[in-house]
Every structure is written in C-alpha cells, then in structure tokens.
Amino acid sequence: MVGGNLALLVNLIGTPSDINTKNKILFIEDISEYIYSVDRMFYQLKRSGKLDQLAGLIIGGFSEIKDTTRPFGKTVYEAIHDIINEYDYPVCFGFPVSHEKENQSLKVGVRHQLKIGQTVALSEL
C-alpha cells in the first residue's frame, strides 16, 4: 500500500520522492480543495501512468471540498469515478481515512488485500 494526500502525491511526480504504484493499492485523500482541482490532479495521476497498474484504489475522505461560484457539475466522487472508470481493479470510495474525526490508520509499505463488498451509488456518499 502506498498513498496519502492527493495534492502532495501529485507534486512528487517526477521527483526523487515520487512513489511507485505498480501492483500496489493506492489510497488517496485530501482536504480543502476545489472539485476542479481534484479533477485536474486525478488526470495528472492518470496521464503520468500512476493509475495504470494498480492492484486497487482506495478513495478516502475529501474534507471541506469546495465548488466554484460556477458549479463544476459533479461531486468530487463523481469526478474521480469518471476518470478511473476504465480500470478493472477494485475501487473503494468513502473509506474512512481523511482529516476528519473518523480516520482509520493505514499501514504504508505492508501487503494488504482489498475486498470490495456492497455497491452504493456515488450520490449516497
């Protein structure tokens, strides 16, 4: 498992601190971003190949997400889903890892197995 704050991970792409995502479960969370910024950062992950060979993807909490006065037209989870919907690895939305009170610990660098259970509509998250 690798991952963390989306804005920080995107800023590490191409640097010596860049993460290897091949055959890994990637977890992402963020705080106080605009929906359009999250959309742009996910496209950067995609275009850099970081999403291509994942074992799984965990989308954590996106706390205090903002929209512009001219609405983006999607929730943050809908925007992410539209970018990753072509991949066939397991994806978990709304995992309780974030900057909120409910914040589960995830061990980075350890082998994990991601099993997806019940499917819910993104609008329910």
Contact 82, 38 (CB under 8 A): no
- Encode pLDDT of 79-103 as tens digits: 999 999 999 999 999 887 767 777 6
Residue boundaries of the structural domains of the chain:
2-115
- Encode pLDDT of 35-58 as tens digits: 999 999 999 999 999 999 999 999
Residue 8 has pLDDT above 80, yes or no: yes
Name the CATH superfamily, with its identifier, for domain 2-115. LD-carboxypeptidase A C-terminal domain-like (3.50.30.60)
pTM of the full predicted structure?
Answer: 0.87
pLDDT at 6: 97
Contact 25, 114 (CB under 8 A): yes
